[in-house]
Amino acid sequence: MPSTDTTTSTSHFEILPAGLPPSGSRASVPASAKDDPRWARRAAEALASSSGADIARVQATLQELRKCQEAVSEQLGETREAVLWLQRLEVVEQQMILIPDYQVKARKLAHDMKNVEERLLKAKKRAEKLIGHELPSHPEEDE
């Protein structure tokens, strides 16, 4: 069971380090921050005087980094668009490479179709000769 004795408990400001004297002052420092109402202001001044320039440099560096980040972000967008364009161009190039093959296939198909047409005409003539009269022609044959 926790102790309820309030005499041994300490509040948060009692465990803070003792206050800092003003710069260049030989004034005494209270034993506890509890006794120094200016502790926070003095601690902030001491921190700012010791690292204030560092904070300003860090802030300036952060601003430069944000600018660089924006520029890189824009360049990434442009680069992405360029890569997509190149990928589409590669697909077109691959298709263009195949055009001669397709031309050869088309010529072969045209040749085969002409052979089929000639064979059909021969078969039709034989059929007409066997039945003794001329077969009706289709409109496609006249063209």
Closest CA to 19 of 1, 56, 46: 46
Tokens of residue 111, six digits: 């040749």
Contact 107, 101 (CB under 8 A): no
Amino acid residing at 9:
S
Q: Which residue has the tokens 């990434």?
A: 76
pLDDT number for residue 7 = 47
H/E stretch holding 7: none
CA separation for the pair 112, 125 (Å, rounded): 20
Q: What is the pLDDT along the chain (143 residues), one digit of tens a residue?
A: 444 444 444 445 444 555 555 556 655 655 666 666 677 777 777 777 766 677 778 888 899 999 999 999 899 989 999 999 999 999 999 999 999 999 999 999 999 999 999 999 999 899 888 888 887 877 665 55
CA separation for the pair 86, 123 (Å, rounded): 54
Q: Residue 137 class from Cβ within 10 Å (0-12 exposed, 13-18 middle, 19+ buried)?
A: exposed
How would you classify residue 132: left for phi > 0, otherwise alpha for psi between -120 and 50, otherwise beta?
left
Alpha helix positions (H), 5-131: 39-97, 99-131
CA separation for the pair 135, 128 (Å, rounded): 6
Q: Could you state, in order of their start, the residue ranges of all structural domains in the chain? A: 31-96, 98-132
